[in-house]
Structure 1
Amino acid sequence: MTPRLRGYVDVLVVGGGNAGFCAAISAAESGAKRVVIIDSCPEDWVGGNSYFTAGAFRIAHDGLTDLLPIVNNVDQATAKKIDMAPYTATHFMNDIQRVTSGRTDPKLSQTLVRESNAAIKWLARHGIRFQLSFNRQAYEVNGRIQFWGGLALKTDNGGKGLIEDHRKAAQRLGIEVYFSHTASALDADPVTNAVRGVEIILPNGEKERFKTGAVILAAGGFEANPRMRAQYLGPNWDVAKVRGTPYNQGGCLELAMRDVSAKQAGNWSGCHSVAWDANAPAHEGDRAISNEFTKSGYPMGIMVNRNGERFVDEGVDMRNYTYAIFGKAILAQPGSFAFQIWDSQTIPWLRAEEYRDGIVEKITASTLSELADKCAERGLASRDRLLNTIEEFNDAVEQHRKENPGVTWNPAVKDGLSTQSRTSRLPLAKSNWATTISKGPFLAVRVTCGVTFTFGGLAVDPETAAVVSTTNKTVPNLYCVGEMLGGIFYDNYPGGSGLTSGAVFGRRAGKAAAAKAASSLAVARL
């Protein structure tokens, strides 16, 4: 029988992903007497979308020596082989500004950047195990391990390990966690708009109101709700595949707007979406396979649509800055799928966890003609156009190589190997890492769009993460973190910054909520 919540709660956190656990941990260490997390999911779906991530955290740092004290997978011999430049606050801020086209809320993003390093070291003190992300963010080139794209940290065992560690930290602090408890309404004072309780649907289906000192909303976006995706993201988004939890239905966003007139903020027509295995489940992630359905090896090869035509510059930027938008590009193609293609020159550089046998359906062939035939069996409409596309691509790559014989291929930097030369320029360039698709055996993988999280959310005070109402006043006793917080990401985001946002603002919200709960209790005793 699922345990049920009873009694008064000092700080109630709605949602049990990374942001929710960070908020609860912060509230507990800040003195809140009773901290409770509720989640609408059953216990076997614990962790929200955070469970399905690779566990990457983007932070500003001073280089390798700054990170070594908090990671568990680097010995002295390995450390001597690592090349890792500092990733400063300026670098981080510039990346957010660049990928969001300057639309990011400056106060929110500055807080995120400024406190990123301290927040992750705070998590490490609470037992979150961090590692250097050798498998995802580094390549060994000429005997040196080169980190790239400004992202170096991940959690031990990815999102699974992150949630495991969060649960242990919560248990140590006496935080209670209740599953199959769904927030259905906020109880707000009709005069002050102050939140004084939450109506909860209990595991038996009954509704009950609970009094609280403060409430922190951390229940995710609306990415698992096909109706809301079509309504806000646009046509065809209802057919996108859900990468993570099926429980992020957008209900808490709607109840906050309904019950306390919470102000909407951020990019409601935007989301994080990736190239995703076309054979993955449609409406929820697989908790065993998890993030392995991601297919982000496109910088090593090319992507073509159903008609056999390229539709993105696969090498326009480091993968960290393109993978969250290329899902949208795939969705917009005929049939909403594409083929990723490589030859024997770059197949060995594909990450094993994304392209290993038994997970992905590999389309292999010894010749390009055979590969085209096999892709045609899986939805390719024009095998001849695919072969022409590859031939034109190869010719352009070779012309660039002839004009630039000194440029060498290096996946750890933007190497400048492209399809654009004085004698040959493709209408759609591949700007970096361009190698011919010419040496068998060949490999293709069929991909579609996987939606990760939505960018639209609620407006908050950057100092406390308190929810702001449509009157531009904060709603007393109510806070918002994680995917529900709107205003930081627009159209795109720098990889790894979502979990960091949850940590930074979860930490702030928990501290503020604990103080608010203590003051509310003191007033009640007068």
Structure 2
Amino acid sequence: MSDYDVVVVGAGNAALSAAMAARENGARVLILEKASEEERGGNSYFTAGGFRFCHTGIDDVATDVLTDLSPAERDQTVLPVHDREIFYEVLMKVTHHQSDETMAWQLIDGSRQALVWLRSHGIRFIPMFGRQSFLIEGKHQFYGGVNIEAVGGGSGLVEMELAEVNRMGCHVRYSTGATRLIQGKDRRITGLEVRGPEGYETISVPAVVLACGGFESNPEMRVRYLGQGWDLCRVRGTRHNMGDGIRMALEIGAQPYGNWSGCHSVGWDISAPPYGDRFVLDNFQKHSYPWGIMVNRRGERFVDEGEDVRNHTYVKFGREIMSQPFRTAIQIFDQKTIPLLRDEYRIKQVTKYTANTIEELAGELEINPQSLKATV
């Protein structure tokens, strides 16, 4: 007889949401977190905790998602309509119409309900004033569609969700990673093998949810699926996402599906550590490039920085950076645009150079001055 009805593998947003859903439907739930308690939260911990969902503006959102917003804050907020048609158009644009239609509409039409459900479980949200808006004539003008975040960003989201699963009576085991799914002769899941501080053990359970991230922390898998050079990239988040869930699913015959050669690639500060920093979090990203130009080590531009709002371009531009010499890009701004830069450019860990002329800047960056001047 099993002590649990459901085992959830992982402890990021997807895993904790699955655990809450199972528990509120009466299941006895065990959550397995491969990381230690000090490193819990998966990649969700290192995100902005931002959400894209359907709504018709600030008055609509304030009814059931931004329920903590004061009347004064509401009056100072200009939130463009983001209905299902706009959501669909953006999704198909950034995926080059490769998204599965059925799954796309399921995502879109369930997006608002998901936020309201999270709110019912004590997850609080606020507008992304610092990152997704500009103050114009006393009002915060939002853009880009991802305008609402969990209080405290990704780390705040994880902490609120962990508090909720604990309150609901889910059990959490840290430093315990799943290694193998166990099936009966009828191919039904009957349990899983895990590795914890005391070694290997088997847990009997009739249902397992694999929500333990991708393979971004695994250099071998990055090269296998993303291509040459991807073993050398920095990882924005956790060091524990080694592709375990994907491997376990494939081992029992799961069908590979989706875009295996693509990834969520982000322009990241060249001085950042190999994996995420739990203090700096996602502030190593540098996403104000539409206000300047990006050049490679030859002093040449390689993208159209103002092609679209950064929400729609930063992932593909991150991949373009990986194909440049030394996998490096340099963002250049002048004094007129400095006030427009996002807060991530003002952290003490930022790598930056300041110069009065293009030639002087080229010298600081060890770039050919003539080439950089010609580009500018």
Query: Do the structures match in fold with TM over 0.5?
Result: yes
How many residues align? The count is: 375
Deviation at 1:20, TM superposition (A): 0.1
Shift, 1:152, TM fit: 1.4
Query: 1:107-146 to 2 correspondence within 5 Å?
Result: 107-146=102-141
**Alpha-carbon deviation of 1:97?**
1.0
Q: Find the structure with the greater CA-based Rg.
A: 1
Taking the aligned partners of 1:249 and 1:170, their CA distance within structure 2 comes to 25
Structure 1 counterpart of 2:235: 242
Partner of 1:159: 154
| Partner Cα distance (1:94, 1:189) in 2 | 44
The residue identity in structure 1 corresponding to 2:109 is R
- The 3-state SS of whatever aligns with 1:274 is coil
In the other structure, the counterpart of 1:41 is 35
Residue 26 (structure 1) aligns with: 21
Amino acid at match of 1:122: W
Aligned to 1:315: 306
Query: 1:510 corresponds to which residue?
Result: none
Whose strand fraction is larger, Structure 1's or Structure 2's? 1
Partner SS, residue 121 of structure 1: helix
Q: What is residue 295 of structure 1 aligned with on the other side?
A: 286
Query: Do the aligned partners of residues 342 and 72 (structure 1) sit closer, same or farther apart at CA in structure 2, a change above 3 Å counting?
Result: farther
TM-score (norm 1): 0.70
User: Matches of 1:68 and 1:349 in 2, distance apart?
Assistant: 28
State the 1:83 CA deviation.
1.7
In structure 1, the residue matched to 2:218 is 225
Read off the aligned partner of 1:373 and give its amino acid letter.
Answer: G
Distance 1:78 1:17 in 2: 30
Residue 363 of structure 1 corresponds to 353
Q: What does residue range 437-448 of structure 1 map to in structure 2 within 5 Å?
A: none
1:85 positional shift: 2.0
1:286 aligns to what? 277
Give the Å deviation of 1:77.
2.4
- Contact 1:73 / 1:132 at 8 angstroms: preserved in 2? no
Measured after TM superposition, the shift of residue 242 of structure 1 is 0.3
Which residue is equivalent to 2:264?
A: 272
The equivalent residue for 1:262 is 254
User: Equivalents in 2 of 1:165, 1:370: separation in Å?
Assistant: 48
What displacement does 1:201 show?
1.1
Query: Amino acid of the residue matched to residue 22 of structure 1?
Result: S
Q: Deviations over 1:229-276 (max 9, x none)?
A: 001000111111100001000022111111x20011110000010110
For residues 266-415 of structure 1, what are the structure 2 equivalents within 5 Å? 266-282=258-274, 284-352=275-343, 354-376=344-366, 380=367, 382-390=368-376
Q: Could you tell me how far apart the structure 1 residues matched to 2:293 and 2:371 are?
A: 14
Question: What is the 5 A alignment of 1:66-215?
Answer: 66-69=60-63, 70-71=65-66, 74-190=69-185, 192-204=186-198, 206-215=199-208
| Alpha-carbon distance in 1 for matches of 2:72, 2:203 | 55
Q: 1:7 offset after TM fit, Å? A: 5.6
Instruction: Work out whether residues 62 and 87 of structure 1, in 8 Å CA contact, stay in contact via their aligned partners in 2.
Output: yes
CA–CA distance in 2 between the matches of 1:265 and 1:218?
A: 16
Q: Which residue identity is paired with 1:64?
A: I
1:271-295: CA deviations, max 9, x gaps? 010110000012x100110100010
Q: Give the Cα–Cα distance (whole angstroms) in 1 for the partners of residues 100 and 273 of structure 2.
A: 35
Q: Equivalents in 2 of 1:388, 1:73: separation in Å? A: 52
Any conservation in 1 of the 2:283–2:347 contact (CA below 8 Å)?
Answer: no
What is the one-letter code of the residue matched to 2:277? D
Q: Structure 2 matches for 1:434-473, cutoff 5 A?
A: none
Q: Which moved more, 1:288-297 or 1:134-143?
A: 134-143
Name the CA distance, whole Å, in 2 between partners of 1:227 and 1:82: 46
TM-score normalised according to structure 2 size: 0.97
Q: Which blocks of at least 5 consecutive residues in structure 1 are unaligned? A: 1-5, 391-526
Looking at structure 2, the residues matched to 11 and 73 of structure 1 have their Cα atoms a distance apart, in angstroms, of 34
Q: Cα offset for 1:357?
A: 4.2
Separation in 2 of the partners of 1:299 and 1:116? Answer: 28
Whichever residue aligns with residue 75 of structure 1, its letter is: S
CA distance in 2, matches of 1:73, 1:310: 44
The structure whose RCO (Cα within 8 Å, separation 6+) is larger is 1
State the shift of 1:383 in Å.
2.2
* 8 A Cα contact 2:270 2:351, kept in partner: no
Q: Does 1:9 align with 2:4?
A: yes
